[in-house]
Amino acid sequence: MKRLLPIVICLILGNIACAQQIDRPKLVVGIVIDQMRWDYLYRYYDRYDENGGFKRFLNNGFTCDNTFVPYAPTVTACGHACIYTGSVPAINGITGNIWYDNDLRKSVYCTEDDAVHTVGSKTEAGKQSPRNLLTTTIGDELKLATNFRAKVFGVAIKDRGSILPAGHTADGAYWFDYKVGKWVTSDYYMKALPSWAAGFDAPKMIDSYYKEGWKLLYPANTYLQSTEDDQPFESKVFGANATKFPYKLDEYVGNNYSAFLSTPFGNTLAADFAKQLVINEKLGTDSITDLLALSFSSPDYIGHAFGPNSVEVEDNYLRLDKTLGEFLDFLDEQIGKDQYTVFLSADHAVAHIPSFAAQKNIPSGYINFVSVIDSLNNVLRPKYRKEKTIVALTNYQVSIDQDVLNNNKINVDELKATIITALQKMPGVDRAFDIDRINQIALPHKMEEMFANGYNPHRSGQIQIVLRPQWLEGFTGGGTSHGLWNPYDSHIPLLWAGWGIKKGKSTREVYMTDISATLAALLHIQMPNGCIGKVIEEVIR
């Protein structure tokens, strides 16, 4: 009996230790679709596959039908940063894909970093890192909570769609170098590509897509949710004579690794690379929760070119649905069904093409910001004797030369008033205002909050431009864009499934900032250090 006592004690202590262990999923997978309107979930619902991705989420997971971006500008870098930080540009510093930096006095790309070098090719594509991001991500917090034993990776065709979600402490972030047809990273993460990534034969895959061409998945007469193919207001991304389906792409074989980005094949390539990462990096194979941030970039290229009412967008989402379903099947087999948590959202939505809207008698139009800057500088030049008093107009904000603003001989209020008056006379401009006086402007609270959340004094302009609904910055070659406060740009999908997730639906208004807060609660870890979101309690089982 005395000999058995130590064994019994060990068993009891072992059971106590197991009982006290925090229960977490093996893997968290974040899926961000670059440029997805919320209504695509239901617009194409009847056409989605029962075993595809969207119906799996909608019928078996939890749907947050009223999810919004809580800031402007609604663009890619800001959205990816917000989802994973739970923060807004005012705090995390990612105020656009590109912004004019008032301290550096130059335009800055969101992930540019001259201190690092490309790994995987000899181009400049890898001179990128997350250093411009001022806050932690949920991946960073997961690393901290597990004493850096968790593995965190980002994958996207776009660098910013991979780097910003992965965060500062990630094990790796990969993006696509279309100049050479390879997946690359930077030496911020690693000195050399792992063998599995270096051996991933993207050129061969892309050439096979080109030979196949982009044909409609179903008969053309079944695309009833789209405008008739071949519209003059669509961009001709595959050449002037390529105006409708089927798109022959074989001329690009072996000499072009960028044209496929504007096809659904870009989604397939990203999913295939992510599968190889999960397998080779052994994600979800031990007791420590790992995280994969996967972004699908091609919907953004397709949406910009053809617009939400196009056959191309409809076909892309029908194909993406199948790609998502196959990816979930892979996770079920590789990680185990209900052993991982997955969410799906978007970085922003998109407006209808103004020329299309005009055909339907919806007020709409374009504004040319290049001519706006030139016009304003012509007005200001005689008085302020500066070739360019206005140095940039990005993210719907006017940036004024810092030397002019700091000149105590210049009446800055008068200068701003001159610019605002000139802007408000331009077609399509609803109003313009001094951001420093936003609380004095007669704006609906929602708009005021979104503009304030998007403003960072070091990385934003001094004057905010608000366009009329359905007006966009001009696209001379056709197509559409996003970036505004309006619901067509800010209403995004948010779907949850898997470990720890309830089955259901909510129409309560929630925000992009709530995603990482909810993940933190689910994982029992600290939320990111700039997070202003709240837990969506209905989601968690």
Alpha-helix runs per DSSP H in 134-219? 138-145, 159-166, 195-198, 202-212
Active site residue 76: yes
**DSSP strand E in 164-255: where?**
172-177, 182-186
With both helix axes pointing from N to C terminus, report the angle between 159-166 and 76-85 in degrees, rounded to the nearest 10. 20
Classify 101 as helix, strand or coil: strand
Cα dist from 74 to 71, 145, 147, 298, 408, whole Å: 7, 31, 34, 17, 35
Direct distance between the N- and C-terminal alpha carbons of the chain, in angstroms, rounded to an integer: 44
Positive or negative, the Cα torsion across 302, 308, 309, 314?
positive
Cα dist from 470 to 74, 124, 367, 393, 467, whole Å: 14, 37, 11, 19, 8
Distance CA 165, CA 32 (A): 10
Alpha-helix runs per DSSP H in 47-181? 53-60, 76-85, 89-92, 138-145, 159-166
Contacts of 306 (CB under 8 A, 6+ apart): 234, 235, 312, 313, 479
Distance CA 31, CA 296 (A): 8
Point out the catalytic residue in the list 63, 67, 76, 289: 76
CA angle 152, 154, 155 (to 5 degrees): 145
Classify 119 as helix, strand or coil: strand
| Half-sphere CA count of 380, side-chain side, radius 13 A | 29
With both helix axes pointing from N to C terminus, report the angle between 412-424 and 369-384 in degrees, rounded to the nearest 10. 140
Q: Closest Cα partner for 466 from 436, 426, 503?
A: 426
Q: Count of CB atoms within 10 A of residue 4's CB? A: 8
Distance CA 429, CA 418 (A): 15
Classify 122 as helix, strand or coil: coil
Contacts of 219 (CB under 8 A, 6+ apart): none
Residues linked to residue 296 through DSSP beta bridges, in sequence order: 33
Residues linked to residue 27 through DSSP beta bridges, in sequence order: 290, 340
Distance CA 122, CA 497 (A): 40
Contacts of 505 (CB under 8 A, 6+ apart): 62, 63, 64, 65
Cα dist from 184 to 120, 192, 444, 535, whole Å: 5, 10, 44, 35
Residues taking part in catalysis: 76
